[in-house]
Structure 1
């Protein structure tokens, strides 16, 4: 069973940000450290659940999973949420030995809204922490605030259209947010030089089209990309409500393959 501890509290903009570690036993001497950012459509009011399936998958796969509560301090607003998460990444970069090894590769991962923030953090890491981020793991990230793709029509089927619409409206409340590449990565015109990416979606995912489009653009810009599209019915869309599904073993395998490829 994965345990949960609050291992640290960093300061961002004069506010405390709690950092939690999933306490599984790493299987490698130099285990990857993953900064995990959970979703909830930019509407979380703090990290209350002790375990979520995405974090469990990475933890059980032998990684050190560190989750930052970026939403509570930032109010889930741009740019505050992204800057808060980036501060957590900077902290991990400077304190790897506290969580793993000084040689532990550093990753950022996020699902849904957390995937958006993770993508923004990866962009900023390229610009301000070059060479520090080994990879980015984007799990059905909310990339496009226009919500106009063909696949997005399925949002009503899983009861997420209104929640995502409200989430985007809240997150992009600032005047600059809508056009800023860190806020809406699909609008970024310069994707070269980013850390390698593992990008995951499913055939029945309302975010499928925007996710695949972003992965294709990353690859066209010279970024190493590993894509995984789960089949319809694998239960992948259940991640939006914190559920498990048949995808967990597949995600673990994809993640391990991703890390192994980067180690070659």
Structure 2
């Protein structure tokens, strides 16, 4: 596995942000190109040197993964973070052959707050570049600023409610807030036509119910949705535990199967 951190330069990505590339040893034809938004989209990354287990798992499944910090340039607020993510997504489509091949599917992925950005970008991609995005992978997505689901009560038990509440407050500080259809995907009233979804959560995930509710609404809108609820043993904390965790192996398998089933 190769990886690198780079500060973008003129002529590379369209905006100055930090990104990391994960590339597996295999060089399969038309391998997926993934734009991955980590769970720091609503706040600064604490440790830039640690690898993202989800990105590693997708790379080991054959994808080339670009982990991009789209929040820092905008102060982790809407709509700046979303617009910066969309600029990167457009650039990846335009320069796809630089990374992979012209036939390679482009996928959005994100965990927790990054899952919110990924889901929002999928909505924007549907409207601005219909039919181009191959799929979206949402890992314990943090998509409901109301924070009132039954599973969210677990956030109090583990001391996460304040952190996530502060993240939402920072992200939605702009005047449009909840009113914009891209700000909080769970509140969007038009979900028809978005790219197919793989949504992964777990029994112990405080964000489980809001994710499953969003998946059900997507399904009702005619979107192809594959939902996986992992056990406590393969739980959501695997997002942070590194490549040796059981979560990584399970997710890598789920991602491979999702890619095989996409109509591309």
Q: Distance in 1 between matches of 2:123 and 2:225?
A: 15
2:78 corresponds in structure 1 to: 78
The runs of at least 4 consecutive aligned structure 1 residues that moved more than 4 Å come to: none
The answer to whether the aligner puts 1:2 opposite 2:2 as a matched pair is yes
1:44 corresponds in structure 2 to: 44
Q: Distance in 1 between matches of 2:59 and 2:104?
A: 14
Q: Residues 157-198 of structure 1, C-alpha deviation per residue, up to 9 Å, x if partnerless?
A: 332111001000100001102222211101111000000000
More off after superposition, 116-125 vs 62-71: 62-71
CA contact (8 A) 2:238 2:248 kept: no
Q: Distance in 2 between matches of 1:2 and 1:263?
A: 29
**SS of 1:3's equivalent?**
strand
2:136 corresponds in structure 1 to: 136
The answer to whether the aligner puts 1:17 opposite 2:20 as a matched pair is no
Q: Distance in 2 between matches of 1:192 and 1:132?
A: 15
CA contact (8 A) 2:7 2:17 kept: no
CA contact (8 A) 1:193 1:222 kept: yes
Compared CA separation, residues 41 and 82, structure 1 to 2 (3 A): closer
1:190 corresponds in structure 2 to: 190
Q: Distance in 1 between matches of 2:23 and 2:188?
A: 36
The answer to whether the aligner puts 1:54 opposite 2:81 as a matched pair is no
**What is the CA-CA distance between 1:7 and the residue it aligns to?**
8.1
Gaps of 5+ in 2: none
**What is the CA-CA distance between 1:234 and the residue it aligns to?**
2.0
**What is the CA-CA distance between 1:6 and the residue it aligns to?**
2.6
CA contact (8 A) 1:59 1:65 kept: yes
**What is the CA-CA distance between 1:232 and the residue it aligns to?**
1.9
Q: Distance in 2 between matches of 1:132 and 1:227?
A: 22
> How many equivalent residue pairs?
259
CA contact (8 A) 1:36 1:68 kept: yes
More off after superposition, 33-42 vs 120-129: 33-42
Q: Distance in 1 between matches of 2:156 and 2:196?
A: 32
Compared CA separation, residues 73 and 81, structure 1 to 2 (3 A): same
What are the within-5 Å matches in structure 2 for residues 113-262 of structure 1? Answer: 113-239=113-239, 242-244=240-242, 245-262=245-262
Q: Distance in 1 between matches of 2:46 and 2:162?
A: 21
Compared CA separation, residues 2 and 236, structure 1 to 2 (3 A): farther
CA RMSD, Structure 1 to Structure 2 (Å): 1.7
TM-score by length of 2: 0.93
CA contact (8 A) 2:201 2:208 kept: yes
**SS of 2:186's equivalent?**
helix
**What is the CA-CA distance between 1:249 and the residue it aligns to?**
1.2
2:93 corresponds in structure 1 to: 93
CA contact (8 A) 1:35 1:67 kept: yes
Q: Distance in 1 between matches of 2:54 and 2:254?
A: 13
Compared CA separation, residues 168 and 48, structure 1 to 2 (3 A): same
CA contact (8 A) 2:3 2:20 kept: no
